[in-house]
Amino acid sequence: MTNKTNSADHAYPIFFIYDISLDPGRRSMSIFSKSIRKKILAQHLDVEPESIRFSKGAYGKPILKGKSDLHFNISHTDNYWIMALSKEDEIGVDIEHHKDRKNMDGIVSSYFHSAEHEEYQKQKSDADKKDFFYHIWTRKEAYAKYLGLGLNYDFSSPDFKNDDTPGVTILTTLIPKTKGHHSTTVSIAHK
């Protein structure tokens, strides 16, 4: 493998984001994900991609087989794919396009902390509600994936509006709306 990168040269956490619609081969998300994640992990582990093996945590989170201090997490939505890497500590990532959802109010009342629900109701327009929803939802999913619990996590707690996640940092950024695309929110949870 050429262009190997010594993982000691990187500050962690790091993440890679791709818009596969820009890929001239337009592979399916599944094929793209399997191919690129092995290449990225191999670069950071200084091994050949073919030697990378995976297993799953108790709730299905993909992990590297064998002894490794490198942790990773993947998320995708429509054409966007993201992978986050961390040394020594777990990591979780979520990416979501700001699409209209039929039951956004119901999701908020069922899965958001009371302070988040209250703030959601204060939003002045449907567009503001949608932006707030995705800001909080990606944080919740990234945190649940950081914990390795996925959908087994109690999403109504803690309060992500007020960063009530002791010992964990959650970075959230917005990828602005582009022609033909929704805005996209990315959240990464790490120590």
pLDDT of residue 185 exceeding 90: no
Residue in the block written with tokens 């966007």: 80
Q: Tell me where in the chain the CATH 3.90.470.20 domain(s) lie.
A: 7-94
Predicted TM-score (pTM) of the model is 0.85
Phi, psi (5° rounding) for residue 128?
-65, -40
Top-confidence residue, 121 or 150:
121
pLDDT-derived band at 158, boundaries 50, 70, 90 = confident
pLDDT, tens digit (0-9, with 9 covering 90-100), for 20-40: 777 766 678 888 888 899 999
CA distance 184 to 137: 12
Asked whether the beta carbons of 148 and 96 are under 8 A apart, the reply is no
Q: Is the pLDDT of residue 163 over 90?
A: no
Asked if CATH classification 3.90.470.20 holds for the domain at 7-94, the reply, yes or no, is yes
**Helix, strand, coil content of the chain in percent (nearest 5):** 35, 25, 40
Tell me, what's the pLDDT at 182? 63
